Amino acid sequence: MRKSMTLSLLLSAALGVSALAVAHDGGPDFGPGPHGHHAEAMLALHGLNLTDAQKAQVKQILQQSFATLKTQEQAVHQQHEAFEALSPGASNYQSAAASLAQAEADLTKARITARAAATAQIYNSVLTSAQQSQYASQKAAFQARRAQWEQFKHEHPLPAGASSAP
């Protein structure tokens, strides 16, 4: 039963990724990595039958969101590389670690805020009222499926020492 549930989830994920590729329409790659939230935004819009004009608006909003974070992400990346180059015996090792942790926390906060702003802008200025209703229905269905999966995992725990990887 657990294998069939895992297979179902994998197939759903594969369909979601292929849906993203269709909805993506050859724009910038917002795939895995620090900009994965843009891919999630596109997945959330799948099935809403966006017009070409709406897709262009969404693309522009997401590109603007990406651009606002780019400088901060580059700075954190450079700070991370500088920290990795330090020896654990360096006198400033702990302070560099604390500084990097704070920079990454600030970046995470900025990403979450940018994602929320982009989502709100798309929802309020791009989607029609019918698409907003459909979006809400899709979100509720996704949350229900997630709750079912969590309940299933709780009721059917893996044996001790077993890996959760498929």
Q: What is the CATH number of the domain that holds 65?
A: 1.20.120
Q: What is the pLDDT of residues 60-110, one digit of tens each?
A: 999 999 899 999 999 999 999 999 999 999 999 999 999 999 999 999 999
Alpha helix (H) residue ranges in 25-125: 36-45, 52-85, 93-125
Q: Measure the CA–CA gap between 56 and 88, rounded to whole angstroms.
A: 48
Q: Measure the CA–CA gap between 123 and 9, rounded to whole angstroms.
A: 27
130 located within any domain: yes
Q: What is the pLDDT of residues 9-21, one digit of tens each?
A: 444 544 444 343 4
Give residue for tokens 């959760």.
Answer: 164
Task: Give the range of the structural domain holding residue 146, as residue numbers without chain letter.
Answer: 38-155
Q: Specify the amino acid at residue 92.
A: N
With 80 as the cut, is the pLDDT of residue 4 above it? no
- Provide the domain count of the chain: 1
Q: Measure the CA–CA gap between 123 and 131, rounded to whole angstroms.
A: 9
> How much helix, strand and coil, in percent to the nearest 5, is found in the chain?
75, 0, 25
Q: Measure the CA–CA gap between 55 and 109, rounded to whole angstroms.
A: 27
User: Which one has a higher pLDDT value, 40 or 103?
Assistant: 103
Kindly report the pTM of this predicted structure: 0.63
What is the pLDDT at residue 45? 79
54 located within any domain: yes
